[in-house]
Amino acid sequence: MLPPENAALPAPQGNTAPAPRPKPRAVSNELTAFLGKGCIYEGKLTFEGRVRIDGKFTGEIFSNDTLEIGPDAEIEAQIDVAAVVIAGKVNGNINARARCDLRAPAQMTGNVTSPVITMQEGVHFDGAMTMTTALDSAVRAQTKRAPNADKIAMAQDLPRDPSDLLKPVN
């Protein structure tokens, strides 16, 4: 039987406050995945969270999180991650958007680009280091030379290359 239309509804039981919002994912130092010493992997690795490699890897690695390369690891890859900690052998270029830490006994052959680069004593490094920020890269990518700039410079007897302005005049 239904209550009459003008009958009062029963009072709600318990807490009537709205449900709490889920907390944003906390940054964790906990490993998400691990490629152990006896493992060999070839291909493309894309991941979230913190991943450690102690085995052999050949290919490409992409992430917005942290990659750890252990002292027993042998990596031949192009690496593009937020942060990387290297203690093993790496052959390839690294783009670390936040930081790159090279720890002994790392052996790194390739170029490193990152706003923060640290290297312990005992690391063997053969390559180039470029300390740049994401803003620097974005500005360079959007900055283009004006059309016909060389023709205008020649007509006005101006240097064609802006770095020529820094050279002494005879």
> How far is 36 from 62, CA to CA, in rounded Å?
19
The number of beta carbons lying within 10 Å of the beta carbon of residue 29 is 6
pLDDT digits (tens, 9 = 90+) for 90-116: 999 999 999 999 999 999 999 999 999
**pLDDT (0 to 100) of residue 24:** 40
Higher pLDDT, 169 or 102: 102
Higher pLDDT, 164 or 60: 60
pLDDT digits (tens, 9 = 90+) for 29-62: 778 889 899 999 999 999 999 999 999 999 999 9
Whether the per-residue pLDDT at 2 is higher than 90: the answer is no
Return the amino acid letter for 28: S
Confidence of residue 26 (pLDDT cuts 50, 70, 90): very low
Token pair in block for residue 30: 């906990």
Whether the per-residue pLDDT at 72 is higher than 90: the answer is yes
Give the domain ranges of the chain: 31-141
**pLDDT (0 to 100) of residue 3:** 52
**pLDDT (0 to 100) of residue 21:** 46
**pLDDT (0 to 100) of residue 124:** 97
Report pTM.
0.63
**pLDDT (0 to 100) of residue 147:** 63
Helix %, strand %, coil % of the chain (to 5): 10, 40, 50
> How far is 110 from 99, CA to CA, in rounded Å?
16
Contact 114, 100 (CB under 8 A): yes
Q: How much is the mean pLDDT over the chain?
A: 79
Q: What is the DSSP letter of 72?
A: T
